[in-house]
Amino acid sequence: MIIAIDGPAGSGKSTVAKRVAERLGILYVDTGAMYRALTHKAMEKGLDLKDEAALINMAKDTEIELVLDKNNKLTVFLDGRDVSAHIRTPELTNNIRYVAPIPGVRREMVKMQRRAAREGKGAVLEGRDIGTVVFPDADKKFYLDADFQERVKRRHKELVEVGMNVDLINIKEDVERRDKSDMERKTAPLRRADDAAVIDTTKLSIEETVEKILSCL
Ligand code: DC
């Protein structure tokens, strides 16, 4: 069984997808973490983020593995190294918009995502293009959304919880910039697949959203 969950930053996808996977006893694949890990590698290597050919070559030569422990904590391995602590900084988040729109990079990521999803007896994948590109034949597709202000508030809370000192204005700009870059890029832009169920999570708790998804299966 393949379940696709797409939506913009702060729509609640990650926590919800993780819980749905846990309840169903299937794999959870955070595709955003893969784009983050790849961006981390490019920055670490000091690559010119505008050099598409270099970024594609790097992507071809990269292995990313996602491991969820029994406490639901995700560890991201980049070429065998745990980079989980480095992939959520505002600077890196801002740089993903140079890496994620490149078609050759996305091709490599999609291959890796399909491989990861097929390792178990089923998977919940979350991202921006799961229902449209990665698994257009997914058994079930969901598109999560929430009001802009609510999404900003959630992103802020998430970052504060991992000990980052960020102010609301910067988060607002970050979410705005990311919405624009995710929705307006030419390759695999964020959009609802025609057959995806839309869930507005603005007024829903995580548990309510999880229940809603499970009741659709
Ligand atoms: O879900 P996230 O915030 O961790 O994702 C980080 C960025 O990665 C997001 O702004 C766009 C990119 N991304 C993508 O282009 N395609 C995906 N399937 C998942 C994420």
Model confidence at 162: pLDDT above 90:
no
Q: Is the beta carbon of 9 within 6 A of some atom in ligand 1?
A: yes
Distance, in Å, from the CA atom of 54 to the CA atom of 35, rounded to the nearest integer, reads 15
- Please identify, by atom number, the ligand 1 atom nearest to the C-alpha of residue 35: 8
Q: What is the pLDDT of residue 78?
A: 98
Q: What is the pLDDT of residue 20?
A: 97
Cβ contact 99:25 at 8 Å = no
Neighbours of 23 (CB within 10 A): 14
Q: Is the beta carbon of 10 within 6 A of some atom in ligand 1?
A: no
Residue with CA at minimum distance from ligand 1 atom 2:
32
CATH number for the domain that contains residue 24: 3.40.50.300
Which of these, 166, 68, 64, 59, lies nearest to 115 by C-alpha position?
A: 64
Report the mean per-residue pLDDT for the chain.
96
Q: What is the pLDDT of residue 44?
A: 98
Q: What is the pLDDT of residue 159?
A: 86
Model confidence at 190: pLDDT above 90:
yes
Read off the pLDDT of each residue in 21-43 and give the average, rounded to a whole number: 97
Model confidence at 122: pLDDT above 90:
yes
Do the bridges between strand 81-82 and strand 74-78 make them parallel or antiparallel, or are there none, so unpaired?
Answer: antiparallel
Cβ contact 154:10 at 8 Å = yes
> Per residue in 124-138, pLDDT tens?
999 999 999 999 999
Q: Is the beta carbon of 127 within 6 A of some atom in ligand 1?
A: yes
Which of these, 198, 208, 179, lies nearest to 141 by C-alpha position?
A: 198
Q: How far is the CA of 175 from the centre of ligand 1 (A)?
A: 12
Read off the pLDDT of each residue in 92-109 and give the average, rounded to a whole number: 96
Q: What is the pLDDT of residue 91?
A: 93
How is the chain classified by DSSP, letter by letter?
-EEEEE--TTSSHHHHHHHHHHHHT-EEEEHHHHHHHHHHHHHHTT--TT-HHHHHHHHHT--EEEEE-TT--EEEEETTEE-GGGTT-HHHHHHHHHHTT-HHHHHHHHHHHHHHHTTSS-EEEEESSIIIII-TT-SEEEEEE--HHHHHHHHHHHHHHTT----HHHHHHHHHHHHHHHHH-SSS-S---TTPEEEE-TT--HHHHHHHHHHH-
> Per residue in 64-98, pLDDT tens?
999 998 888 899 999 999 999 999 988 999 999 99
pTM of the model: 0.96
Q: Is the beta carbon of 135 within 6 A of some atom in ligand 1?
A: no
Q: What is the pLDDT of residue 163?
A: 86
What percent of the chain has a predicted confidence (pLDDT) above 90? 89
The total number of structural domains that make up the chain: 1
Model confidence at 166: pLDDT above 90:
no
Q: What is the pLDDT of residue 165?
A: 84
Neighbours of 50 (CB within 10 A): 8
Q: How confident is residue 183, by pLDDT bands cut at 50, 70 and 90?
A: very high
Domain residues for 44?
Answer: 2-215
